[in-house]
Amino acid sequence: MEPETTPAKRPQIHDPTPARRKRLIDLFNAFLEDKISLAELKGISRVDMIRLAESGHVKFKHGRFDEAETIFKGLMILDHRNPYFHAMMAALHQKRGRPVEAILEYSHALKLNKHDVTSLVNRGEIYLRHNNFRKAAEDFRSAILLDEVGSNLWANRARSLVIALKRTLEADPKLNLR
């Protein structure tokens, strides 16, 4: 006599509480409507995300760009609405000589946080390096206007770059503002 060959039954998840089921459905719908991030859906705490970002920043500061890029790519997947993650990816692109990607990431970071002086100055520097003086001046101006007191180091850097840009344009009239 042969043993019965029945297909293996999958264990079913039984959810005895309708309140839990409703909560999970609401969470999933909020994720689909882009109201919460993947990290919030998966229950990853903000503290853990901050720790990961800090380790990525340390790796960036010590020149371990591959590792930092991996960390920030993962963080951007987990929370695509965090402007810091986009700004750090932009800084990585900038360090690696990828100006187009850097400008796109800085622009995305600025779309999420229009008061990010660091992203404005860094994007302005990329424009400046590629002789797009008009866009560089716009970014520097925006950064300076965000720091009326003059206490932000990045805004002060923008002030210095504006002075240097002005002197360069005065010294060489052939250069034009694009």
Q: Where are the domains of the chain?
A: 40-114, 115-178
* Burial (CB count within 10 angstroms: exposed 0-12, middle 13-18, buried 19+), residue 46: exposed
Q: Of residues 95 and 45, which shows the higher confidence score?
A: 95
Q: What is the pLDDT of residue 10?
A: 64
Rounded-to-integer distance, Cα 128 and Cα 38, Å: 36
pLDDT (mean) for 26-37 = 84
Residue 59 or 3, more confident: 59
User: What is the average per-residue pLDDT within 23-45?
Assistant: 85
Specify the higher pLDDT residue, 143 or 173. Answer: 143
Average pLDDT, the chain: 89
Q: Which carries the bigger pLDDT value, residue 93 or residue 15?
A: 93
Closest residue by Cα to residue 141 from 128, 173, 129: 128
C-alpha to C-alpha distance for 86 and 98, rounded to whole angstroms: 14
Weakest mean pLDDT among 31-35, 99-103, 126-130:
31-35
Tell me, what's the pLDDT at 151? Answer: 92
- What superfamily does domain 40-114 belong to in CATH? Tetratricopeptide repeat domain (1.25.40.10)
Q: Please give the pLDDT value at position 138.
A: 95
Q: Pick the residue with more confidence: 32 or 51?
A: 51
Q: Which residue has the higher pLDDT, 90 or 173?
A: 90
pLDDT of 172 strictly over 90: no
pTM reported for the whole predicted model: 0.81
Top pLDDT among 98 and 21 is at 98
Q: What percent of the chain has pLDDT over 90?
A: 63
Residue 44 has pLDDT above 70, yes or no: yes
pLDDT band at 169 (very low <50, low <70, confident <90, very high): confident
Give 57's contacts (C-beta < 8 A, 6+ positions apart). 68, 88
